Amino acid sequence: MRTGVGRSGGMFRRGRQTTEAGPVGHELLQQRSPNHERPRSGTPAAISVSVVGLDGQGLPRGATEVLAGAKVVLGGRVHLDAHAPHGARRIPLGEPGTAQFDQALTDLEELSEQDGPAVVITSGDPGFFGVMQGLRERGVRTAKVLPGVTGVQRLMAKLGRSWDDVLVVSARGRDLRRALNVCRARPAVAVLTDAVAGPAEIGAGLTGWRRTLIVAEDMDTPDERISVVDPPKAAKRRWREANVVLCLADPEAVPPRGWCAGGEPIPPASGWALPEEAFAHRDGTVSKAEVRALALAKLGPRPGTLIWDVGSGAGALAIECARLGAAVVAVEPNPVQCMRIIANAATHGVDMRIVENEAPAALVGLPRPDAIFVGGGGPEVVAACAAVGAERVVVALTALDRLGACRDALRHSGYVVDGCQLSANRLATMSDGASRFVGTTPTLLLWGRRSTS
């Protein structure tokens, strides 16, 4: 069983802009903020470059003249064959984050001003998950930047969909796990892909989540194809070069008009460690707000992470993690409690995967988590969770006689263990209007963190 919400709708209008910055402009940008990017080498590159972005609509205005005078051109093979002038030195350029990309920038650094002018040809907007960050890190001066329209913008325009609710993440040259976890948690995500992290890998990682994938292959070419598939079908299909994968919880939903790109900001305005009455629950079976507050601090849920909530009960802790941007798997064997999790998740507008089964058997085949909360099950379940290898494990106990075995299970798997007893005295009003404190049931909280030594 699982629950989810999604967003969609609208139109997008495209445009093009040109930015020019000579040496003076570059210096001003460096002086504006004490936190600007510093070049990795001590000496800035001697040569200045122009950057041209292509988006399927031909060269941007002014690019023909820039390329005509180029003596050095960096770009992908297709871009070099199509646009590098005869006689110019060609330097292959890979995707940012790859060894080929770093080598190309190293070659660029070794050029002198007399070797130029130099031009970098890339796809879309070079300032959006593109080459501009790498150039600034190296201290390379940009004489002129002629951007194209990003692949995300072009796909949204082709779909006739607004995209101010879409969170954009890059899997190019990076570990795919963080991008997958954002897709598991958020209702609308665009993933920039490469040959290693493509639609098949994304589909395999999202199997078990209710998602629709819209895949753009060979965009703006005669072979362009836009496909709508579910994750299992995407995982089994062979794909051509995919520019963007749009992941949606509900392709037909129209999101409310927002004010912040990528959806509502995290953390939510209403805070966290919500009161117990914020969740539908059976009397006494929901974790106390004070316990959740400390557990959240030790779990560290945030966008790009995956949290398991094992023995989820009514799902209060799982929902709190999801509200803070994490992807969540809630494991709960009681079917009535699973229905409560679905209802509570819908009330709080979050999405998660629910596994209706008993741990530790329920844990087999689940994607690897960054952190685990164990709300029930005893030492055997704690040992199974600790064996998974998550960075952090948090265990809530009410029975003192289980403390030693659970602590030892964490230590045996290499965790540095700490803990405390939480016993909150809450302010309450008496019948005559006077105030007094009422104690809550004490809870033992253990937490283990992987040793870095």
pLDDT in tens, 417-429: 999 999 889 899 9
Report the pLDDT value the prediction gives residue 395, as an integer from 0 to 100.
97
Q: Residue 274 above 90 pLDDT?
A: yes
Residue 416 Cα to chain centre, angstroms? 28
Cα separation, 384 vs 391, whole angstroms: 14
Q: Which residues of 410-437 are buried (b: 16+ CB within 10 A; e: fewer)?
A: beebebebebeebebeeeeeeeeeeeee
pLDDT higher at 99 or 391: 391
Confidence category of residue 33, pLDDT binned at 50, 70, 90: very low
Q: How far is CA 152 from CA 36, 81, 220, 255, in A?
A: 26, 25, 12, 18
Provide the 8-state DSSP code for 8. Answer: -
Mean pLDDT estimate for the chain:
87
The single residue listed with the structure tokens 């992290």 is 197
Cα separation, 389 vs 368, whole angstroms: 8
Report the pLDDT value the prediction gives residue 28, as an integer from 0 to 100.
40
* Mean local confidence (pLDDT), 378-399: 95
Beta-strand ranges (E) seen in 233-319 are 242-248, 306-310
* Mean local confidence (pLDDT), 356-384: 95
Number of Cα atoms under 13 Å in the Cβ half of residue 442 = 5
Q: Is 273 left (phi over 0), alpha (psi -120 to 50) or beta?
A: left
Q: Residue 5 above 60 pLDDT?
A: no
Report the pLDDT value the prediction gives residue 453, as an integer from 0 to 100.
54
Provide the token pair at 375.
């709300």
Confidence category of residue 8, pLDDT binned at 50, 70, 90: very low
Q: Residue 27 above 60 pLDDT?
A: no
Q: What is the three-class DSSP state of 307?
A: strand
Amino acid at 146: L
Q: Which residues face 75 on adjacent strands?
A: 92
Return the minimum-mean-pLDDT range out of 160-169, 391-400, 421-430. Answer: 421-430
Cα separation, 99 vs 419, whole angstroms: 44
Report the pLDDT value the prediction gives residue 284, as an integer from 0 to 100.
65
Return the minimum-mean-pLDDT range out of 108-112, 340-344, 379-383. Answer: 108-112
Return the minimum-mean-pLDDT range out of 268-272, 273-277, 324-328. Answer: 268-272
Report the pLDDT value the prediction gives residue 452, as an integer from 0 to 100.
63
Cα separation, 72 vs 411, whole angstroms: 58
Report the pLDDT value the prediction gives residue 26, as an integer from 0 to 100.
43
**pTM, entire model:** 0.84
Report the pLDDT value the prediction gives residue 58, as an integer from 0 to 100.
82
Q: Residue 107 above 70 pLDDT?
A: yes
Confidence category of residue 161, pLDDT binned at 50, 70, 90: very high
Q: Residue 233 above 80 pLDDT?
A: yes
Report the pLDDT value the prediction gives residue 268, as an integer from 0 to 100.
84
Report the pLDDT value the prediction gives residue 269, as an integer from 0 to 100.
84
